[in-house]
Amino acid sequence: MDPITHGVVGLAIAAFTGEAVSIASPYAMGSLLGAVIPDADIVMQVKGDYSYLKNHRGMSHSIPFIFLYGTVITAALSFLYPDASLLKLFIYAVSGCISHLLLDITNSYGAQVLWPIYKKKLTLDLLLVYDPLLIIVSLAIIIPSINSKIHPIISLIMFFAYLSARYCMKLYVKNKVRDNFKEQGKILFIRVLPSMVGLVKWHFVVKVKGKMIIGELNLLPRKLKIIETMNDLDKKLIKAVKNTHIARFFGEFTPLFHIKCIKTNRGYEYSFIDLRYYIAKDFLHHATAVLDENFKLVASAFHPYRKTRHVEI
C-alpha cells in the first residue's frame, strides 16, 4: 500500500480511543507513526532501485520488528506526552504497525511477515496497491461529522465486508479461468491478481504444460482476454542462466516471473519479466542478462518500473 493509505488507516485506528483524532492525542500519533514506520526501509533508496527493491517489505515488515517499532515509538512519544499511558501508547503504536503488515499482504507484492522463520513474502492478492474504497472507509472513521452518525465499528464491518467481496470476486475469476482453459491440458497452477487499475478488473496467470497464459478478466462486463502466451524456455537455456546473479535476484524479487531468450550474433539475450503487475500494455519490472556463445555472462541489468531504466547488476 502507499504511505498515504497506511497513514489514514493508522489515524482511523486511533478513532477507537474515543478521543478526537488530532496531533494533541498521543495515541493518534502513536498509531499514525506505527502505521507508516515499516516503510522506513525506503532509506535503502539512497543506494539505488536495486538495493531498495531487494530489501523492500523484507525484515522491516516482520512480526519481530513491529514490537521493536512499538517500543521505539512509545519511548519517543513519552517525552512529548509525559502524561500519556505507556501501555496504551505501546498498544496503539503496535496496532498501527500491524495494520501496515496486514494491508501489505493484501496486495500482490506481499511482505516477509514471518521473517526470520519464513523468508518468503506472504500475499493474499486481494486489494489494489492504491485502493480508493479503503481510503473512503478510513476517512469515514476519522471525520467527526461522519463518525458521529456512523459508529467506527460499523465502518470496520463495512471494510471486512468489502474484503470478503474481493475474495469472492477472486474465487469467481479463478473458477472462470479454470473453466476457460481446461481444454488446454492439465492446469499446473492459476494465480489471480488484482489489476493495477479498476476495482472489477483482475489479471491471471495460468500455467499449463509448455506455456504460461497471461490474461485479464473484467467483471463488468464479464469479458476475458488473453494478454500474452509465453512458451517455456528450453531446459538447456534455463540451466545456462539460472545460476547468474541476476537470475537469483529476480527469483528472490518475485515468485511469479517468466524468462525469454533470443539468439543474437554474439550469443544470447535473456529477458526476465515480473508477471505480477501489468499496466499500460506492459509488465512493470524487467531484467536482462547477456551471455556469449559459450554461455558466459557478459552483462546484466535490472529494469525497475520501466524498460528504459537500467540498473547494472
Looking at the fold, whether 123 and 247 belong to one and the same domain comes out as no
Our measurement of the distance from residue 7's CA atom to the centroid of its chain's CA atoms, rounded to an integer in Å, reads: 17
Instruction: With respect to residue 164, please indicate whether it lies within any of the assigned structural domains.
Output: no
Question: Residue range 243-266: average pLDDT?
Answer: 93
- Cis check for the bond before 64: say yes or no (omega within 30 of 0): no
Looking at the fold, whether 197 and 239 belong to one and the same domain comes out as no
Our measurement of the distance from residue 162's CA atom to the centroid of its chain's CA atoms, rounded to an integer in Å, reads: 18
Looking at the fold, whether 247 and 221 belong to one and the same domain comes out as no
At residue 129, does pLDDT exceed 90? no
Instruction: With respect to residue 8, please indicate whether it lies within any of the assigned structural domains.
Output: yes
Q: Residue 303 has which C-alpha cell?
A: 529494469
Looking at the fold, whether 176 and 195 belong to one and the same domain comes out as yes
Contact between residue 290 and residue 281 where contact means Cβ atoms under 8 Å apart: no
189, 207, 229: which is the final residue of a domain? 229
| Rounded-to-integer distance, Cα 308 and Cα 234, Å | 27
197, 229, 261: which is the final residue of a domain? 229
| CA distances, 18 to each of 13, 15, 93, 126, 306 (Å) | 10, 6, 16, 30, 46
Question: Residue range 191-198: average pLDDT?
Answer: 91
Quick: pLDDT tens for 150-188: 777 888 888 899 999 999 999 999 999 999 999 888 999
Looking at the fold, whether 103 and 242 belong to one and the same domain comes out as no
Range of the domain at 135: 3-150
Between strands 297-303 and 311-312, the pairing is: antiparallel
Residue 306 or residue 189, greater confidence: 189
Question: Residue range 133-144: average pLDDT?
Answer: 86
pLDDT at position 155: 80
Mean predicted lDDT score pLDDT of the chain? 92
Q: Residue 91 has which C-alpha cell?
A: 498498544
pTM above 0.85, yes or no: yes
| Rounded-to-integer distance, Cα 210 and Cα 187, Å | 11
Contact between residue 155 and residue 25 where contact means Cβ atoms under 8 Å apart: no
Classify each residue of 42-68 as buried b or exposed e, where b means 16 or more C-beta atoms within 10 Å of its C-beta. Answer: eebeeeebbebbebbbbebbbeebbee
